[in-house]
A and B are shown apart, each in its own frame.
Chain A
């Protein structure tokens, strides 16, 4: 399958004063194939949300290319970028904060249609109704209500409807279920899977909950302190992690089964370093149980170790 999205050597940095920068995303190259779900995992400060926003040009990255259907979004401005935007949508973590509290639900979902120039009000109403029904909201019940009248799960349905109304190709889901209660999460995960199948979507699914990511993703990319550690298909990544950081993440997951013994993360004690001043060489080396002198001097490049498997480590756990 061809790549719908190709991110090349992406760099995102934020100035923090005194000439210092947060190195949020450093030289990341990653692609998303047409019709797949790519999971992106990492802890806070790993740069996963910065990457998502940079590829939507919110704001544009410092360097690198973002090829969407062959067009480099970083080179586009104004009208040209607006013409592509409807095909790229985003769903945010906090469904209540991401909806305008003063607008009616029907207006919130219709807004993208207005912005993209659908001027016929009847046509807008028809499309808003259709998308409400698709996400499981009863148009007659919700049409004139406002976001505060809904629970978090229902608000996330509204946000999904808003993202779908322009019939996008790619939806970036940034922690779409993290703020939801356990009993509601499965409803929204299932809805995203249904919408993906029904509308032929491609998803970039960002989350820190590895079990949710495993459940929806065809391939998974793991980030640590702004760099990619590993990219692999979901099953092999979870069965045999190649990067020591991926292995530590897997071992740290609290498994909801008292008969599964706690895994050993093998991490060196200490906290993750600051993205203001990331370690030289491999950024994971300060916590890595296998670190060697070479890890401090050479940045390990992301390289293929098997078909469809890439790892950025001098001493991968899977050869």
Chain B
């Protein structure tokens, strides 16, 4: 995902993305200088806790957070070499929904409650792909069937409230993939769902992604979900990307102490009952009162004065990056 290792140009390239909001307590930088590349057909998991900036980052890339919502946005976003930030609203509408599809956490609020399912799925096809309403309706039924909804003809004539949460999320996926996008953004797509339904939805996303060769950004707070589905993972903390690497490297040899501490704090099914969890002390910082140093320093067991005074930048070592003065498992670092 670093881009250095791959010769092919990335599908999506983000440089120094910033998002800030003005609050009563002063400016709040929710996303602070995040860069990453995403190649065709790959799945990037963006992992972080609430307030880490993972959703705001991705929403700012596709214009859902911007001047209109009172946010200050900076940085460069190249999609297939085109600068998305330089597009007019009209040009942007041609990209969103057609070349980039989005699935949100809560299908009850992302679907239109007063429009029939079939019409919602066909809307993009009519507006962007020039299909007439008959052809769009036919294609909507095909898509419902593809995302695993039984009796698609009958379901196409129903409204969202007539379906279960899992079904609604399948509909949301059908809408997102209707125009055959090259990039699918899934923002906590299964957080509102039960574990057995979550499994079915993640399987569906992965199958569609592979069959269509789409790239996917999977935003999640659940490290288990990211472990099973992402090729690469970017870990965010307090608005910054603190570690980025292939999924296995993140889980096997985390460099950043935050990643390491987070993985250690998880209860495991393989641990005996009543094992003490290794909790991370403290809590994430107040973004309106940033210190000059590393955001994780107050909670970090490897903290030195350097960590309090200087902000570590994301530096690359071969194909992986980390923002830490004392990376784990590296010569010269504390874990060496």
Contact = CB atoms under 8 A, between A and B. Distances in A.
Interface residues of A, number: 47
18 contacts: A43-B194, A154-B283, A181-B50, A181-B221, A182-B221, A182-B223, A186-B280, A193-B274, A208-B194, A208-B195, A234-B273, A248-B196, A254-B198, A256-B268, A258-B227, A259-B248, A271-B197, A272-B164
A66 B266 CA distance: 35
Interface stretch (A210-218, A296-304, A311-319): A210-218
Given A182-B221, A216-B274, A271-B164, A258 B197 contact: no
* Residue of A187, A210, A259 ringed by the most chain B CB atoms within 10 A: A187
B248 A256 contact: no
A151 B286 CA distance: 11
A144 interface: no
A255 B223 CA distance: 8
A265 B50 CA distance: 30
A3 B139 CA distance: 60
B261 A183 contact: yes
A258 B247 contact: yes
Contacts of A210: 195, 269
A257 interface: yes
Q: Which 7 A-B pairs have the closest CB atoms?
A: A254-B224, A43-B194, A186-B279, A186-B277, A215-B267, A252-B199, A181-B49
Interface in A165-194: 181-187, 189-190, 193
Contact of A190 (B269, B271, B276, B299): B276
Interface of A: 43-44, 151, 153-154, 181-187, 189-190, 193, 208, 210-212, 214-218, 234-235, 238, 248-260, 262, 265, 267, 269-272
Contacts, number: 137
A265 B198 CA distance: 12
Interface string B249-287: 001000000000111011111011111111111011000
Contact of B227 (A216, A250, A257): A257
A214 B269 CA distance: 6
A256 B284 contact: no
B26 interface: no
Contacts of A267: 196, 200
Contacts of B251: 256-259
A221 B150 CA distance: 32
B137 to A, nearest CB: 24
A183 B284 CA distance: 9
Contacts of A214: 267, 269, 271, 273
B51 to A, nearest CB: 8
Interface in B189-207: 194-200, 202
A153 B283 contact: yes
B225 interface: yes
Contacts of A182: 49, 221-223, 262, 265-266
A234 B199 CA distance: 23
Contacts of A254: 198-199, 202, 222, 224-225, 227-228
B144 to A, nearest CB: 14
A212 B267 contact: yes
A218 B271 CA distance: 13
Interface string B297-313: 00100000000000000
Nearest to A274: B164
B221 A215 contact: no
B166 interface: yes
B167 interface: yes
Contacts of A262: 199, 228
A184 B283 contact: yes
Given A44-B194, A183-B49, A249-B195, A211 B269 contact: yes
